[in-house]
Structure 1
Amino acid sequence: MSEGNGDSAPKKRGSNEAKAWAHERAEQFGLAVQFWRKKIELTAVELSNRTREIGYPITRATIAKIESNQRNSKMDFLEICVLAAALEVTPADLVFFGHPAREIKITPRSTVTSADATEWFYGGLLYNQFADIHNPRLTQSHNHRQTLANFNQAVDSFVERFKPGRFGNEWIVNADHEGAKDGIASPAIQALLSTYYDEIKRLRDEHIREGGYVELPGWVGAMRVAPF
């Protein structure tokens, strides 16, 4: 963000309920930024300098406006990420300030604890505010949570065993180097790796069929090996 940017104020939603909620969320965000800034004994100028070092400068004046909620209840996602990094906290520590017991309005009409809000935000908890009404809507992430867990487990298992990494422009895996030719795994190791890759691809496809999305790691298909 350029030095003069970030202070344009978008129009808030029309209802008083929406305006009140937007004001409350932005106010809590500002209080969180100020709290964590003071906790690590940074001035607004020093915090601004940190954001510049991160690569997305936020001016001292903008930080002051965030902390005092003087931007028409604006909350910018990119600023949240950069300020969290600069303050050495998680984005949820800024968005849902008051972990774990503070009550947070995650929508204008839904109040949960900040602990539940944080878990919902990162995907550890399903939250469906329509669950109690007639013909409730389905929570979209319900069906593919387990398929994502299966995919991640397979990826973690491969990483733990083969420790893939980049060598120049190529991916290599740590496997038995015996029988390798020109750095390419032996037929036996290739067959073993292919078994892992096929299973990871299968689990990824299963997750997509359930309505989720995940990209394959770049090392899937790598056959170049390095010795242990």
Structure 2
Amino acid sequence: MTQHESDAGYDNEDEDDVPEWADHVMATVAAEVRRRRKELRMSAQDLADRCEEIGHPIPRSVIANMESGRRANLPLVDVMVLAKALRTNPICLIYPIGYIAEVQRLPYEHRIAPWEAMCWFIAQDSGSLADRDMLRYQREHIEALSEANAAMASESYAQYAVQHATRATQRAEALRDQAACLERIDKAKQRLRVARSFIRRDRGLLPYLPPELADVDPPVGNTTEEDTL
């Protein structure tokens, strides 16, 4: 079915000239693949060879047909591998921010800025989302885990400085640094406990914790205050 001009957001175009939404998405990806390939000074064969090295062969003829608009479809797995081969991210092929003025996010929608479409795609928009809470918990877990790892690394360095200090002033400074690192670790662990309690409550998959952070989770069979939130 051909989209209507008013629904799709096209101006000064005949209805027969308006591409289907799927064609629009594929044309956007194909154009960005070609632009990126040229930027990297890769031939279509170079790109095909790189895809094969990655483990998902995409023949040169397929790439050529895609770039010229002769290919009828573009599987998601191809987009993922092409992005890796072109040293970019899949989302940057779908919504090439900085290289096109607008995109059509969904059928019959007006065209919008690529940045708006990307925010929607990666759940960074302000719209409703059934799993938004779980995404927030997972992001908080990632940030808290990163902070815990950084604090533990700093604490190890401070501990080394304490053990090898040759002057009292050096030792005192190293002890202060170590105490500050231990406080950072405790705060990061608390953030992890809270995030994991909400993930557990909503029956989500608990992210992996390294052995040195095993005390973040309550003993099996025990329930903490956070678990009941």
Shorter-chain TM-score bucket reads 0.5 to 0.7
TM-score with structure 1 setting the length:
0.63
Paired letter, 1:123: A
Q: RMSD value over aligned CA atoms?
A: 3.6
Q: Which residue pairs with 1:77 in the alignment?
A: 76
Deviation string for 1:4-29 (max 9, x for gaps)? xxxxxxxxxxx333970011111111
Provide the rounded CA distance (Å) in 1 between the counterparts of 2:57 and 2:24: 25
Unaligned runs of 5+ in 2: 9-18, 161-183, 215-229
Deviation string for 1:84-126 (max 9, x for gaps)? 1111122122111353762111111333210122222223224
- Name the structure where helix makes up a greater proportion of residues: 2
Whether the 8 Å contact between 1:116 and 1:125 is mirrored in structure 2 is yes
Q: Confirm whether residue 200 of structure 1 aligns to residue 192 of structure 2.
A: yes
Q: Which residue pairs with 2:143 in the alignment?
A: 153
Mark the CA change 1:37 to 1:101 in structure 2 (over 3 Å): closer, same or farther. Answer: closer
Provide the rounded CA distance (Å) in 2 between the counterparts of 1:29 and 1:200: 38
- Name the structure where strand makes up a greater proportion of residues: 1
Number of residue pairs the alignment of both structures matches: 179
TM-score with structure 2 setting the length:
0.63
Unaligned runs of 5+ in 1: 1-14, 128-137, 164-172, 178-191, 224-228
Q: Which residue pairs with 1:184 in the alignment?
A: none
**Bigger CA radius of gyration:** 2
Provide the rounded CA distance (Å) in 2 between the counterparts of 1:215 and 1:26: 36
Q: Confirm whether residue 95 of structure 1 aligns to residue 94 of structure 2.
A: yes
Identity among equivalent pairs (%): 20
Paired letter, 1:68: S
Which runs of structure 2 are paired with 1:156-167 in the superposition (5 Å)? 156-163=146-153
Q: Secondary structure at the match of 2:115?
A: helix
Q: Which residue pairs with 1:28 in the alignment?
A: 28
Q: Which residue pairs with 1:40 in the alignment?
A: 40
Q: Which residue pairs with 1:180 in the alignment?
A: none
Deviation string for 1:48-68 (max 9, x for gaps)? 111122222211011112212
Whether the 8 Å contact between 2:37 and 2:86 is mirrored in structure 1 is yes
